Amino acid sequence: MKKAGLIICLLLLIGCKSKTVSRSTEDIKIKKVLAAEINSNQQNKAYSLGKRVLETCNTSKFKPFNETEVTKSVMENTTEERLTKTCLRFRQYYGSFIDLKLDGVYKTKHETIYRYHALYTKKVANKELRIFVNEENLVSAIKSMDWDEKFDAKIIE
C-alpha cells in the first residue's frame, strides 16, 4: 500500500512538471534614450496625460481619455471611481500634487517609457509616475510607484 502511494505521488509530481516559457530577451531590453532622440510631441503627450491624472486629486474632476490618447485597456481601467479611491489615499499621505519632473526616457522593442518624479506638497512624498507609450503613439499603461533613484527595469514586466 505504501509503495502504491509513493508511485502515485511520483506520477503526480512528474505529471505536474511546469513547462518553461521561452521569451526573447530582445522584447525586454531597455535602453535609455538620449535627449536629442526624444520625440517632443510624444513627450508632451505623456506629460499632459500624466499630469491630467494626478491633477484629478487636486480638482476632483477628471476629463476621460479618448481613443486617440490611450489604449482601450487604459481607458477601461482609468475610471473616476478608481481615481477617487487612489486620490483620497495620495492626498492624505502626500498632500496636493504640484508637478511632474522628467527623470528619463527609456525604450523597449515596442514601447517608450517616460519616467517622472511626481512632486507633492508634503516633503515625505517620494512618488514616481511611469507613462508607457506604444508604437501607435497611444498611452498603453500608467503606473505609480515609490520613487527609487535607480531605474529598475524589473518593475516593468
7 lies in some domain? no
135 lies in some domain? yes
134 lies in some domain? yes
Higher-scoring residue by pLDDT: 151, 111? 111
Check pLDDT > 60 for residue 12.
no
- State how many domains the chain has: 1
Check pLDDT > 90 for residue 142.
yes
25 lies in some domain? no
65 lies in some domain? yes
93-138 confidence digits (pLDDT tens): 999 999 999 999 999 888 999 999 999 999 888 999 999 999 999 9
Residues 52 and 42: beta-carbon distance below 8 Å: no
Cell of 130: 511611469
53 lies in some domain? yes
23-57 confidence digits (pLDDT tens): 444 556 788 877 778 888 999 999 999 999 999 88
Check pLDDT > 80 for residue 71.
yes
pLDDT at 13: 46
Supply the range of the domain harboring residue 44. Answer: 33-147
CATH number for position 107 = 3.10.450
Among all chains, which residue has been given the C-alpha cell 508604437?
Answer: 135
pLDDT at 86: 87
112 lies in some domain? yes
pLDDT at 22: 47
12 lies in some domain? no
Across-strand partners of 130? 115, 143
Q: Kind of pairing, strands 97-107 and 31-32?
A: antiparallel
Higher-scoring residue by pLDDT: 16, 60? 60
**CB within 8 Å of 156: residues ≥ 6 apart:** 28, 30, 108, 113, 130
3-class DSSP state for residue 143?
strand
pLDDT at 157: 44
Check pLDDT > 90 for residue 155.
no
Cell of 49: 496625460
